[in-house]
Each structure stands twice: as structure tokens, then as C-alpha cells.
Amino acid sequence: MKKVFTLFALAAMALAAQANVMTVCDGTETNGNAPISGFNYDLRNTMTQMIYPADMLTGMVNGEITEVRFYATAGFDLGQNNIQLSFMQVDQDGFDEATPVTGTAAVAYGSTITGETELVFTLDQPYQYTGGNLLIETLLLSPGKFKSTNFYGIITDYAATYYQYQFNWGTPFPHVESFLPKVTFTFEGAAPVATQAPGVETWTGVDGDHTYYVQYTAPEDDCEMEYRYQFNDEDWTQWMPYDDVLAFTEDGNYVVECRAQAPGKEWSEPTEAKFAVTPRTALDEINGGKTVATVRYFNVAGQQLQQPQGLTIQVTTYSDGTITTAKVLK
């Protein structure tokens, strides 16, 4: 059974103090068929479906949408009480062909603003968004005033919008377009979205290098990353900024954690690495107790690297001046 909401374009509903606002697809491109096809507004069964990808809406996950607002390029008058607004979360992120999405949607009936440049739907009962690709559909319930109306938005590299209209009782004419209209959501109660956890890679030193290396990879662009570690079940260190590769040389057991935070998101769950740095081996005794002074890395072209990358030549210099080389595949 469909859940029915009532919409009022200019309802004086007071939003809770926790209300948030999110605007997506804020562009200067224009289109006359989304969010409504005003040019065909005098024809029955005029309908538009728009799919907003989930990665645009991460800050609204688990929030309850209370208002949806679109932006026209000029004032318009489309009549009253004849638009049905529907919401559905779908797996697909666009339209492969001119075929509408079907299924059970949360439906809201309402009216449009008259003579304004913003098309506003205010829900008297909210729609909860849980994190999927969000399909928004506008359906003309009865023919209104003909009005060619354009709305602002962005051009997409895929068919993000479907629309149709119908002359008399004939077959509807289907179309797809690479356009998403600018939209502002007002919502309440969204839970913070965590950043994906960092990746981790570990390796031990070779050829007498008494070191254990840990390298973390940022899961998203522009992430801030921090690490901390625990040595031999002692207290954790403070969180410290992470950069490049961590190296541990003291004998004992380690637990290392790294977390990431992408812009506009919460800290991720930590990624953990557990390992032990073991006492020096017989190879160190063969080296006469000498210690490692420096370790450098070079690619096969002889260029020095900050850390191993692919097939790498590791050059180890010892305290007595001797040098050894080894191939390392990372």
C-alpha cells in the first residue's frame, strides 16, 4: 500500500531546531522538462522522473525530508492542486533507455507556487531518506495552464532524467535527458555519515633492516588521517597526523590504528594492524653486530623513491660503511 502525504506549497509549518538544508546540482544550465515539463503542462499524464545519485546525498542519510525546492529561470503560473510528487529509492543511477521506473513509491499530493521563481513542496509528513539513489517523480494529475518554464541545474554524463507526455488518449511520448535540476532539501535528524576506513599494507625490513613498516591509504580524496599505537599492552599514544610510512624498530608487540575523515563526514572506524618486531637474527650476527645507518629505495631506472613502489632496489648502508642491495617487490 502506498503511503500518502499531503503537500502544501506555502504551508506555514515550523521546522524543528535540528532542521538542515542541502542543495545539490547547483548549476547555470537550464532545462524545460525537469522537474516538470511546463511546455506540456496542458496535456494529460505529463510526468518527469529524476534520479539523484546517493553520493550526492550522503549528508542527508537517515534524515526526514520536509521540503523540496526547485528553481525556475522566470516567474510562472501552472495552476493549483494538480501535481503529485513521489519519492522512491532505487538501485539504478540513471536511465539506459526511455523507460520509466515502476514500483511502490511514497506519494505526496499538493499544489504549486503561483507567479514565483521557486517551485516549493512542503510536506506535512516527512519522507525518510535512508541512503539510496533517490528518484523524485512529478506527475500531472489534471491538465493545467500551458507555460514553457525552464529550471536551473547541471548537465550530467548519463541519462539522469526521464519525462513523458500524452496527446489525448494516445500512447505517451517517452524521452530521456542528461540533466538534473538544482534542488534544495530541508530535512531533520540525519545521522552523521562516517568516512570509509583507510586501507593498510605492512611489510618487514629485508637484508638486515630491523624494521617493521606500516603504510595506510586514504579511502577518499582530501582525507585527513591520524594514527596511534600501543606497545606491549601499554597505554595508547595520542592520535597523531599520519603521513607517508610508519616504521617500528624496537623489539615487542604493536597494535597500530589509523582513521580517516573526508570533508563533511565523520571520522571512520580505525583500521588496525597487529605485529611483533622480533629480536635480531643470525644475519645480524653475520654482519658483526653492525647497525643499519640508512635505507634508500630506487626504481629500476635508478631514480630514488620515498618508499618501495613495484619492483624496487633497496640499498642498505651499515654503520661500518658496508652496503648491501636487495630487490623488493611491493
E-assigned strand segments in 111-237: 116-128, 133-140, 151-155, 161-166, 173-177, 179-181, 183-188, 199-204, 212-217, 224-231
Which of residues 146, 167, 188 is at a domain's end? 188
For residue 284, being part of any structural domain is answered with: yes
Q: What is the CATH number of the domain that holds 22?
A: 2.60.120
* pLDDT at residue 64, as a whole number: 92
The residue range of the domain holding 126 is 4-188
Q: Are residues 88 and 159 in the same domain?
A: yes
- Dmax over Cα atoms in the chain, in whole Å? 96
Give the whole-angstrom CA distance, residue 56 versus residue 129.
13
Q: Are residues 179 and 103 in the same domain?
A: yes
Full DSSP string of 119-147:
EEEEEEEEEE--SSEEEEEEEESS-----
* pLDDT at residue 241, as a whole number: 95
* pLDDT at residue 159, as a whole number: 96
Q: Are residues 74 and 167 in the same domain?
A: yes
Q: Are residues 151 and 11 in the same domain?
A: yes
Q: Are residues 37 and 176 in the same domain?
A: yes
For residue 193, being part of any structural domain is answered with: no
Residue whose cell numbers read 572506524: 269
Q: Are residues 262 and 224 in the same domain?
A: yes
pLDDT, tens digit only, all 330 positions of the chain: 333 333 333 333 333 445 789 999 999 999 999 998 888 877 878 899 999 999 999 889 889 999 999 999 988 776 655 788 899 999 999 998 889 999 878 876 555 555 678 888 887 788 999 999 999 999 888 777 667 789 999 999 999 999 998 887 677 889 999 999 999 999 998 767 788 999 999 888 765 567 888 999 999 888 999 999 999 999 999 999 998 889 898 889 999 999 999 877 889 999 999 999 887 654 554 455 566 778 888 776 777 888 877 777 777 777 766 666 666 655
Q: Which residues pair with 52 in a beta bridge?
A: 134
Q: What are the phi and psi torsion angles at 212 (to 5°)?
A: -115, 125
* pLDDT at residue 175, as a whole number: 94
Over the Cα atoms of the chain, what is R_g? Answer: 30
Domain count, the chain: 2
Q: Are residues 174 and 205 in the same domain?
A: no
For residue 232, being part of any structural domain is answered with: yes
Q: Are residues 32 and 168 in the same domain?
A: yes
Give the whole-angstrom CA distance, residue 59 versus residue 134.
13
Q: Are residues 176 and 297 in the same domain?
A: no
Which of residues 188, 214, 237 is at a domain's end? 188
